[in-house]
Amino acid sequence: MATPTTWPRSIAAWICGATTDARVPTDARATTNPLAKTHAHSRPQPMLDRAMKPTIFLLASLPLLLLLAGAFGVAGQTLGPNPIREMLHVTGKTALNLLLITLLASPLRALTGQLRWQRPRRMLGLFAFAYALLHFLVYAILELDLDFSDLAREISRRPFIIVGTVALLAMIPLAATSTDRMMRRLGRRWSSLHKLVYPIALLGVWHYYWQVKADVTEPLLYAAALALLLGFRALKRSRAARAANRD
């Protein structure tokens, strides 16, 4: 007895489209096979999709690799006259960059209609958490020498530490529930939980702005980028609400 072949959903849609083209008049295709029209203009590009995640992994790992090269003096890299400050700057800024890039995925999907922009979000979010955690560890181990008795004095001098710590603590449940299993287990609560990424991004930008003592141009640019992302989200939700009210 022959075993029926099971095709991935996207491939099945293309096959249905091709079969329909051969047997059904043009005017009837849209009603007979609605998936054919959907996939006609957004066919996946396997090579691009396969290369996306490894490329993002390498790019996201690059700041850490450069830090390690600088720490060991490899390939002419150096951490400069203040290695601890350089490590804090690189890890913190990279975490914030990756967090904002993660938030950029939804607008890109909405503007292009392509799901591929959503796929690396989990990896980007985990990298952002890893760099934020590394940022904290560099501060706790190398700056404080794990002497937390001095932490109160540090906080009084640098209150932005509290903001950064709250942001890091809020990222822990997001990282812990980033698996498919936890997504299925939490159901709708998973989506609600992961909306914490927006206040986390706000805290991250605030942390960066507050610690800069002189030129705040760069933190303000980050704040403007975040404002655009949040504004896009608010506009999208507003349009969706108006469409639902009309229906």
Q: What is the pLDDT of residue 43?
A: 53
57-109, pLDDT tens digit by residue? Answer: 999 999 999 999 999 988 888 898 899 999 999 999 999 999 999 999 888 88
Backbone angles phi, psi at 220, to 5 degrees: -70, -35
C-alpha 182: how far from chain center: 18
> Domain residue spans in the chain?
50-246
Q: What is the pLDDT of residue 41?
A: 44
Region 9-15: mean pLDDT is 36
Q: Where are the alpha helices (DSSP H) in 113-216?
A: 121-137, 151-157, 160-176, 180-186, 188-194, 197-211
Residue with more model confidence, 89 or 25: 89
Q: What is the pLDDT of residue 173?
A: 94
Q: Which residue has the tokens 């890109």?
A: 108
Give this prediction's pTM: 0.76
- 129/110 Cα distance (integer angstroms): 25
Q: Are 103 and 125 in contact (CB under 8 A)?
A: no
CA–CA distances in Å: residue 130 to residues 65, 79, 123: 14, 20, 10
Q: Are 229 and 100 in contact (CB under 8 A)?
A: yes
136-159, pLDDT tens digit by residue? Answer: 999 999 988 887 777 777 877 888
Q: What is the dihedral of CA 57, 58, 63, 64, to 10 degrees?
A: 80
Region 225-246: mean pLDDT is 83
Q: What is the CA radius of gyration of the chain?
A: 23
Mean pLDDT of the chain: 80
Q: Which of 127, 116, 56 is nearest to 91 (CA)?
A: 127
Q: What is the pLDDT of residue 229?
A: 92
- 187/243 Cα distance (integer angstroms): 25
Answer left, alpha or beta for residue 40, where phi above 0 means left and psi between -120 and 50 means alpha.
alpha
User: Is pLDDT at 6 greater than 50 in this prediction?
Assistant: no
